[in-house]
Chain A
């Protein structure tokens, strides 16, 4: 069941985007086996927008940098991370925020849904109390009101008998239940943006659909935007309004789902879609090739080594451009994309 988007795909610019990621580079320093210092370039200039009220699917293979993009946005990077660029949310650069200022935004204006729901919940506290703690951290509700709100949201996420479940410990919940609780925690303070990092990993297939339906429904009901990180094209096709494809730390193509599926411009996107049409299920598990080496810095297009169309011009990195004047929201980073 698909809930249609309230806003249409206008030209994506800062005015219409609630989240605007511009030119983000992220690198980690480490030592190799011989002890020499080397840098892993995890993000290589990420440009991404999430429009008001739109659900954006961020897709890519393992190591493409999608989780790292979310980590950077929510401010969970370790101190050793070297990051440049801007992540604008409601006019503020999240990368410049720290401490209390950052804590005011996350959990309240931005909701986060973790990958492993049972690991994300504190083991020794009842789930209801965890919800209440989160509510009271971001509002001035008293204990009674917070508790009432908690039960309200537990019911909204479809947990049966919320009064009883309030007193449950995380290990007593099934995976699906736990993920519903995590969704409740992400949405309870009515954020404008929800970031979901692979929200269906580890869940049964039937439960996956339920959880995603729920997520979409609640996000729409609040009029919020969402960024869903996944490696499953099927999820993107079914639940997202826009999509962005990442490879080796860059967004190689992005745009409304319908347009990208109808007319994919980047060779990688084409392979993804073709592969997923050939198989049911996750497209990326069937693509055979070595993952890109994050330690190598190159001036060429990041996909050049694997691309069947690679030409001499591809030795310089392409700049992002819109695919057609008629559809400026659909953009691609490829020298060889046919621009009419």
Chain B
């Protein structure tokens, strides 16, 4: 080959996890964006004549207990998955980043609170905490996003804090200060780029987590409910019909959920491996 392949193609080739994971995630993202044009039917349209219909040519994945087409609902469900995961993770970063910067740089009570809240989250199963908070504060999508975002914020804060603490011990900050760099510039030029590699992996992991938690909440009956086409809520309804043999109602939403979460986790794993190789190359 006369033309050298672009470097990112080599990354994809060397790390199939990244390639496959990215393919899955982008595939679902495409579903989410193009839902109105891809879905064969209106997701909340009731087909009274075909309640609990098994998969067929007309209803590719069958219909649920309300007579709504499962295939269309699953496609629209990806909108809710991304619609919750992306803002939640963004929120975590927006809150976590400044808190972590402050905690690492100034220490003091902000640092203390951060450490204590991490202890708290560790002491307690986070799912139960999320359940309790959302149930108590009102069951809406916004609340779900807020709660997940807040619960994950300490993770990003801790990452940035660790980065700053590592740099503080080193010569970098001393020498930067010696040539007169201000605090702000130092943070932007040094701390942030170093944090990004760890952050990329975490973003993927936290998104997977957000999707799982919101589905769990919906499954238990908190947060999003029928007839909204959210995967967890769909599984909740499907649970009733499992014992009577209408397996498709819960199986397919679950499969969609598993696949997307798997894709995100695979992507995170691949990114971690890639960053590992990059670090040993320097």
Contact = CB atoms under 8 A, between A and B. Distances in A.
A71 B160 CA distance: 39
A303 B62 CA distance: 75
B245 interface: no
A80 B13 CA distance: 21
Interface residues of A, number: 5
Contacts of A31: 14, 277
A208 B129 CA distance: 57
A31 B278 CA distance: 10
A308 interface: no
A32 B11 CA distance: 11
Nearest to B11: A35
A33 interface: yes
Nearest to A32: B281
A123 B198 CA distance: 29
B10 interface: yes
Nearest to A35: B10
A33 B281 CA distance: 7
Most chain B CB within a 10 A radius of its CB, from A32, A33, A35: A35
Contacts of A33: 7, 278, 281
Nearest to A33: B281
Interface in B1-39: 4, 7, 10-11, 13-14
Contacts, number: 14
Contacts of B14: 31, 35
Contacts of B10: 34-35
A34 B281 CA distance: 11
Interface in B243-274: none
A59 to B, nearest CB: 28
B153 to A, nearest CB: 34
A35 B278 CA distance: 11
Contacts of B277: 31
Contacts of A32: 281
Interface in B207-252: none
Interface in A15-52: 31-35
A324 to B, nearest CB: 46
A33 B4 CA distance: 13
Contacts of B7: 33-35
Nearest to B15: A35
A149 to B, nearest CB: 42
A124 B7 CA distance: 45
B125 to A, nearest CB: 31
A34 B12 CA distance: 11
B88 to A, nearest CB: 34
Given A32-B281, A34-B4, 12 more contacts: A31-B14, A31-B277, A33-B7, A33-B278, A33-B281, A34-B7, A34-B10, A35-B7, A35-B10, A35-B11, A35-B13, A35-B14
Interface of B: 4, 7, 10-11, 13-14, 277-278, 281
Task: Please give me the 4 A-B residue pairs with the lowest Cβ-Cβ distance, nearest first.
Answer: A35-B10, A33-B281, A35-B14, A34-B7
Interface of A: 31-35
14 contacts: A31-B14, A31-B277, A32-B281, A33-B7, A33-B278, A33-B281, A34-B4, A34-B7, A34-B10, A35-B7, A35-B10, A35-B11, A35-B13, A35-B14
